[in-house]
A = this chain, B = another copy of it.
Amino acid sequence: MQDLTAEILTVIKKRPTQSHKGTYGRVVTIGGNKQYGGAILMSTSAAVHAGAGLVTCVTAPENLSALHTFVPEAMFVSSHDYSTLVDVIQSATVIVIGPGLGTEDFAADILQIVLNRVTDDQYLIIDGSAITMLADVKDQLHIMAPHGQLIFTPHEMEWQRLSGIKIADQTEENNRQKQEEYQATVVLKKHHTKIYAPQTPTMRLPIGGPYMATGGMGDTLTGIIAAFMAQFAHDDPQSALAAAVYTHSAIADELSEDAYVVLPTDIIERLQKFMKEHSK
């Protein structure tokens, strides 16, 4: 097991002069039913601010106004429009599914559509209620795994639901075994977040703090991960992921100097400057 340090941020490369939006990937964020619309807005905005080339948000039609006002840089697809959903999945570099998705029937439909379509050269970040829904059908996970590069971002209770390992039993060994079984990467969110990635020593996040314990923090992380995978995963996907996780908490640490609680929207606002300061 190794502790992540600021060195991981060397992942944030200076951009090549000759490039265009396509160079920095297409991110699709899927989530936000009526009740939890804010979650997918934060994921989407985080992806935009962290430098993804093009970002499309698939969400409940009720969230259109809020999306366009909050982050006009992103595109909208109604979560009822399965046909356009399939189109945007097919052209995606990275897909996020779960923030505020809920567990209603149509959420399950969408998750199924995504799992059926995702391909080996795409990253699929599975968060929140999408993890919960998968937990109910986890026997299918090993079937599903080969078709996409999966990244799960559960907190401990969601990990328990998915893996069947009780929180008290979530040891290095047990977690590793499940990660290998799933052929997926697992970002286990907790006091010191751990990253279990294939063929890589476990990484542990020594930074972050309790000022991050507020609604939407995990949703924001998914957007940062998506943008980092879209831009920096080519050579070393494990490091790109680790750098995203590190960035999220490092910004929170900085902001906590002046804030009792650090809000997701504060982190989003700071991404461009932080990444500039650490880009080589």
Interface residues of A (CB under 8 A from B): 12, 15-21, 23-24, 34-39, 41-42, 48-55, 62-78, 84, 155, 190-191, 209-211, 213-217, 256-266, 271-276, 279
Contact residue among B18, B69, B77 (Cβ-Cβ distance under 8 Å from A69)? B69
Closest to A59 in B: B68
A65 CB contacts on chain B under 8 angstroms: 62-63, 65-66, 69
Residues of B within 8 A of A17 (CB): 191, 209-210
The answer to whether A272 and B276 touch across the interface, beta carbons within 8 angstroms, is no
Contacts A38-B72, A76-B34, A261-B275: A62 and B64 contacting too (C-beta < 8 A)? Answer: yes
Contacts of A274 in B (CB 8 A): 260
Residue of B nearest to A276 (CB): B260
| CA A272 to CA B73, docked complex, whole Å | 20
- Whether the pair B70, A68 counts as a contact (CB closer than 8 A) is yes
What are 22 A-B residue pairs whose CB atoms fall within 8 Å in the complex? A15-B209, A18-B191, A18-B210, A34-B78, A35-B75, A37-B72, A38-B76, A42-B73, A50-B261, A51-B261, A52-B214, A53-B214, A53-B215, A63-B65, A63-B68, A64-B66, A66-B68, A73-B264, A259-B272, A259-B275, A260-B271, A260-B273
What B residues does A271 contact at CB under 8 A?
Answer: 260
| Central interface residue in A41, A77, A276, by most chain B CB within 10 Å | A276
Interface pair B16/A214, CB less than 8 Å apart: no
Rounded to whole angstroms, the CA-CA distance of A266 and B73 in the bound complex is 11
Residues of B within 8 A of A214 (CB): 21, 24, 48, 51-54, 73
Given the interface pairs A19-B213, A68-B63, the reply to whether A275 lies near B260 with Cβ below 8 Å is: yes
- A50–B67 alpha-carbon span in the complex (Å): 24
Residue of B with least CB distance to A54: B215
A167 to chain B minimum Cβ distance, whole angstroms, is 12
Other A-B contacts than A35-B77, A258-B276, A261-B275, 19 sampled, CB-CB below 8 A, are: A12-B260, A17-B191, A19-B213, A21-B214, A34-B64, A36-B76, A38-B73, A38-B74, A41-B72, A42-B73, A49-B263, A51-B261, A63-B64, A66-B69, A68-B70, A72-B216, A73-B264, A259-B275, A263-B272
